[in-house]
Structure 1
Amino acid sequence: MITEDTDTLDVPSSFPLPDNPQCAKDTLNVIPAFPLPDSPQRIQSKKLTPLEKANKIRKKVFLEPGHSALDWARLKNSDVDLTGVSEIRKYTLDELKLHKSKNDAWTAINGKIYNMTPYLKFHPGGESELMRAAGKDGTKLFMNIHSWVNYDLMLDKCFVGFLVGTKTMLT
């Protein structure tokens, strides 16, 4: 409000104003019949979602410049061959086990085998996390940590074949 004699703003002396409708609500010491979102009562008894559980156990690392998720998308959409193989075929677990080094890292997820070597430096959890599944069926590990992630879309250009002859998974 502008006063007539000084042409300056008339700033209230306290905030919130005493006649503010919120003041009456704030002074009530009423506990709601059900916990409100993010209230202390709810936070103590709140069951964690799978994403919240994963966020508590996973650690993100600093990625080198040029290795962000957008950089990975650009690389995937380029004409660069990320498979490292001449044809898509079926592989046994023994063949998969041969690809367990940082220079040649493959994993199987739900029966599909991916060459994760090109993705190692782009993974937000770091290379060491991906290497836990290198040369193995990483289905169980992946589902425990990233069940909401569409791995097939993330690694589609790294697809090398199918895992056959086994039902074992990484424990």
Structure 2
Amino acid sequence: MSSPPSFALVDPDNQEHQVPEFPSRDGPQRLVAAATKQPRNREKIRLEPGHSPLDWAKLVSSGKDLRGVSQLGRYTLEEIRQHRTQEDAWTAIAGKVYNMTPYLKFHPGGVKDLMRVAGRDGTKLFMMTHSWVNIDYLMEKCMVGFLVPSN
């Protein structure tokens, strides 16, 4: 009988240790994972030159007005629905309203993907696809206000 697959680790004292592979190739963890329906693969699109994450960071720190409003406001979903074109795209995420128009061409999934939440509350979709992203940091300069209930 052959030994289970393993790989070598070297500790700080330069000692080599053989560590078993986990999860094992025919183990229950891999079998369950293989039988679990995987989400549809999202494809990143090729961004136009000048629209990399680094370019977004430069734009955000440039001092340019990315909000498009003079001061933070309070907006209902009805008001947000008026901003659902590529020239004027707003969304609400976790109770905050963002003018995402300046970010459209920087989004790794492309303009079309981001337009899915234009003019509506995008919290659920955002959390399903980008729960690890710090929206407050990424879109801070694009925040236009807060989502409030309709009267």
Superposed CA offset, 1:43-74 (max 9, x none)? 733649xxxx66x5321000000000000000
State the 1:79 CA deviation. Answer: 1.3
Partner of 2:42: 58
Could you tell me which runs of 5 or more consecutive residues in structure 2 were left unpaired when the two chains were aligned. Answer: 6-19
One of 88, 103, 125 as aligned partner of 2:109 = 125
What is the rounded CA distance, in whole Å, between the counterparts of 2:49 and 2:32 in structure 1?
38
Alignment of 1:129-148 (within 5 A): 129-148=113-132
Partner of 1:40: 25
Partner of 1:75: 59
**TM-score (normalised: structure 1):** 0.71
What is the rounded CA distance, in whole Å, between the counterparts of 2:59 and 2:134 in structure 1?
18
Q: Which amino acid in 2 is paired with 1:78?
A: S
Asked if the contact 2:84–2:115 (Cα under 8 Å) also holds between the matched residues in 1, the reply is: yes
Q: Which has the higher strand share?
A: 2
One of 141, 144, 147 as aligned partner of 1:157 = 141
What is the rounded CA distance, in whole Å, between the counterparts of 1:87 and 1:41 in structure 2?
59
Partner of 2:4: 31
What is the rounded CA distance, in whole Å, between the counterparts of 2:65 and 2:129 in structure 1?
28
Query: SS of 1:107's equivalent?
Result: strand
Could you tell me which runs of 5 or more consecutive residues in structure 1 were left unpaired when the two chains were aligned. Answer: 1-27, 167-171
Q: Which amino acid in 1 is paired with 2:31?
A: S
Measured on the aligned residues, the alpha-carbon RMSD in Å equals: 2.4
1:92 aligns with 2:76: yes
Superposed CA offset, 1:118-156 (max 9, x none)? 000000000011000000000000000001110110000
Superposed CA offset, 1:12-36 (max 9, x none)? xxxxxxxxxxxxxxxx61237xx72
What is the rounded CA distance, in whole Å, between the counterparts of 2:128 and 2:42 in structure 1?
11
What is the rounded CA distance, in whole Å, between the counterparts of 1:133 and 1:103 in structure 2?
14
Q: How many residues align?
A: 133
Asked if the contact 2:90–2:118 (Cα under 8 Å) also holds between the matched residues in 1, the reply is: yes
Larger radius of gyration: 1
Change (3 A) 1:65 1:46: farther
